């Protein structure tokens, strides 16, 4: 969800106003995915690299995420959305973790859209954590190196139950994945739009999905000519 700062700059506003404006896009896209029957939506909310931003902006983002979740959780629960955290807990403020845990507990039994909030998330960090967990199993004798395959590795990701994404949407026009779900997006279709995240709405989502529907996913094979 890129472009909040640029959106604010174009309007002569502080960066935080761009982050505030982005919340409506979050609500719209979550609701659209729910209505379309999409099973999983993961939002790159705060990356492991975002800690390098000015401390005041980081603190404001932590507060904004917590307040937004607290204000929306009743509606999300009522609409059968399951909320889960994706990323490292270490380093996150306790009030934010408490709110995330409350949301996860309240919606744990919901069977509709599963909404993963990637907070303090980094793809390389996730892969390193999985590699360390596997190394510990080998060192303890619980696993032999020859048994390590993709399935064994994936068991040690932050959310092993999360299926590989079908579609990655990048707003803001940059053609890079920015350390996002590096293991999981090996065969994910990518859609890049210049639209800044606070301007990204349901129509933009439908255009991205229409683009996805027009593609043929070969997963390394050949095109089906039948």
Active-site annotation, residues = 2, 50
Question: Buried (b) or exposed (e) across 19-38, using 16+ Cβ within 10 A?
Answer: bbbbbebbebbbbbbbeeeb
Burial of 102 (0-12, 13-18, 19+ CB in 10 A): middle
Would strands 189-192 and 167-170 be described as parallel, antiparallel, or unpaired?
parallel
Closest C-alpha among 168, 188, 206 to residue 33: 206
Residue 194 and residue 169: Cα distance in Å, rounded?
A: 11
Which residues neighbour 178 within 8 Å (Cβ) at sequence distance 6 or greater?
Answer: 2, 44, 47, 49
In the block, which residue shows the tokens 């079908």?
166
Residue 66 and residue 97: Cα distance in Å, rounded?
A: 8
- Judge contact between 43 and 116, C-beta under 8 A: yes
Residue 194 and residue 127: Cα distance in Å, rounded?
A: 29
CA atoms within 13 A on the CB side of 5: 6
């Amino acid at each position: 969800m890129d472009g909040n700062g640029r959106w604010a700059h174009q309007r002569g506003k502080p960066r935080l106003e761009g982050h505030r404006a982005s919340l409506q896009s979050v609500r719209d896209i979550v609701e659209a995915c729910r209505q379309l029957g999409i099973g999983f939506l993961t939002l790159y909310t705060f990356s492991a690299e975002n800690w390098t931003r000015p401390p005041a902006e980081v603190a404001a983002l932590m507060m904004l995420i917590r307040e937004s979740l607290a204000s929306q959780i009743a509606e999300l629960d009522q609409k059968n959305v399951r909320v889960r955290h994706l990323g490292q807990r270490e380093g996150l403020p306790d009030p934010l973790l408490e709110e995330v845990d409350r949301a996860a507990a309240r919606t744990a039994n919901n069977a509709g859209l599963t909404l993963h909030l990637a907070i303090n998330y980094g793809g390389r960090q996730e892969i390193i954590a999985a590699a360390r967990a596997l190394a510990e199993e080998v060192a303890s004798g619980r696993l032999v190196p020859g048994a390590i395959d993709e399935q064994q590795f994936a068991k040690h990701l932050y959310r092993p139950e999360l299926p590989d994404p079908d579609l990655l949407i990048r707003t803001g026009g940059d053609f890079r994945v920015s350390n996002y779900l590096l293991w999981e997006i090996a065969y994910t279709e990518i859609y890049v739009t210049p639209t800044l995240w606070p301007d990204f709405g349901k129509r933009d989502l439908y255009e991205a999905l229409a683009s996805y529907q027009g593609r043929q996913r070969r997963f390394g094979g050949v095109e089906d000519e039948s």
